[in-house]
Amino acid sequence: MARYTLQRLIYMIITLFIIATATFFLMKLLPGSPLQNQEKLSPEQQKIILEKYGLNDPVPVQYVRYLGNLVKGDLGVSFQYDNRPVTQLIGDRIGPSAQLGFQALVFGTIVGILLGVIAAVRHNTAVDYGATVLAVLGISIPSFVFGGLLQYYIGVKLKLLPVAFWDGFEYTIMPTLALSVFVIASIARFMRTEMLEVLGSDYILTARAKGISGFGVIFKHGLRNAMIPIITILGPMAVNLMTGTLVIEQIFAVPGLGEQFVRSINLNDYPVIMGTTIFYSALFIFVIFIVDVLYGLIDPRIRLAGGKK
């Protein structure tokens, strides 16, 4: 297990290094300059600004300095917000995004598991078909379409919830709902399959034969075992939540990291784009790493297959 974990850890570092390098050189290729209104600035002024950001040095020097700073956890300073450090910017913005992601994950997982279990227990009935249709719809309808519809019907037409912005729990409800649709749908689909398989196994029959109530069998014996493989879809889920926050935060004007990222893209704020990219990637790679290790701990079969290589 230790060897497997170490192997994964090394891959994680290589991947991060490649991402950091690719990000740096792609940003160097970018058209556009951080200098606003450059025609109005005299060549001397331009030179001072470029020097201030270290953009006058040769690219390899910039690259080495960038990597060195990265190791120290310094992601540079923003062009757009008067030299504010990118790490500080990310720190300020991460709150709402993390809250939305977390709420969507918790809500989505609970509803998804319930939906999946009900579909499996009522296998091949109208309830099952209804849940299956809902799940396919949830996977197919893009989150921005769902978010837009929610905003229009619940916010604008019915005026039940605030349309946008970030000012208390009721402002988080619609974005959370829009984000959780995909989570609900994919967990429900997954849960249904796993549950059907588990419910058909012999130990469930034994439990029933011993006279345990239907409810007890499903939740104590069935659900526990069916839930283990859910860990495997946490990775794709994390990616989806990340993609989701970029769009959903735009729609609901949430002052989160995703909204900041999109704004920086449109303003050519390279350090923020680079910093956020590396932050997102590191987060993603870390989630995958944790998922792999957790799964190895829980299911010995994976550990053996991984360790023998």
Partner 1 sequence: MTEKQLSPELFELATERQGDMEKINRPSLTFLQDAWLRLRKNKGAVFGLIMIIVITLMAIFAPIMSDRTYKQQNLSHAKLPPRIPVLEHIDWLPFNGKDMNGINVYEKRGIKEYYWFGTDDLGRDLWTRTWYGARISLYIGVLAATIDLLIGIIYGGISGFYGGRVDNVMQRIIEVLVGIPNLIVVILFILVFEPGIISITMAMVITGWVTMARIVRGQILKLKNMEYVLAARTLGASDARIIGKHLLPNVVGPIIITTMFTIPSAIFTEAFLSFIGLGIRPPEASLGSLVNDGYKSIQTYPHLMMIPAFVISLLILSFNLLADGLRDALDPKMRK
Minimal distance, residue 296 CB to partner 1, in Å: 15
Among 46, 122, 243, 253, the residue binding partner 1 under the rule CB under 8 A is 243
Separation CA 178–CA 161 (nearest Å)? 13
Burial (Cβ within 10 Å: 0-12, 13-18, ≥19) of residue 159: exposed
Separation CA 251–CA 164 (nearest Å)? 8
Separation CA 146–CA 248 (nearest Å)? 10
> Of 171 and 190, which CB lies nearer to partner 1 in the complex structure?
190
Stretch that binds partner 1, among 51-59, 84-92, 144-152, 200-208 (CB under 8 A): 144-152
Q: Is 77 helix (H, G, I), strand (E, B) or coil?
A: strand
Minimal distance, residue 211 CB to partner 1, in Å: 31
Separation CA 196–CA 192 (nearest Å)? 6
Stretch that binds partner 1, among 45-53, 84-92, 105-113, 185-193 (CB under 8 A): 185-193
Under 8 Å between Cβ of 110 and 188: no
> Of 10 and 48, which CB lies nearer to partner 1 in the complex structure?
10
> Of 30 and 64, which CB lies nearer to partner 1 in the complex structure?
30
| CA-angle at 288, arms to 109 and 87, nearest 5° | 100
Outline where 122-233 has alpha helix (H): 126-140, 143-150, 169-199, 202-209, 214-216, 224-227
Under 8 Å between Cβ of 70 and 57: no
Residue 32, φ and ψ in degrees, nearest 5: 90, 155
Separation CA 256–CA 50 (nearest Å)? 29
Among 45, 83, 88, 140, the residue binding partner 1 under the rule CB under 8 A is 140
Among 5, 19, 84, 87, the residue binding partner 1 under the rule CB under 8 A is 19
Q: Is residue 142 close enough to count as binding partner 1 by CB under 8 A?
A: yes
Map the footprint of partner 1 across residues 263-302, applying CB under 8 A: 265-266, 273, 277, 280-281, 284-285, 288
Minimal distance, residue 2 CB to partner 1, in Å: 19
> Of 18 and 48, which CB lies nearer to partner 1 in the complex structure?
18
Minimal distance, residue 213 CB to partner 1, in Å: 28
> Of 22 and 59, which CB lies nearer to partner 1 in the complex structure?
22
Judged by the rule CB under 8 A, the positions of this chain that interact with partner 1 are 11-12, 14-15, 18-19, 22-23, 26-27, 29-30, 136-137, 139-142, 144-145, 148-149, 151-152, 156, 189, 192-193, 239, 242-243, 246-247, 250-251, 262, 265-266, 273, 277, 280-281, 284-285, 288
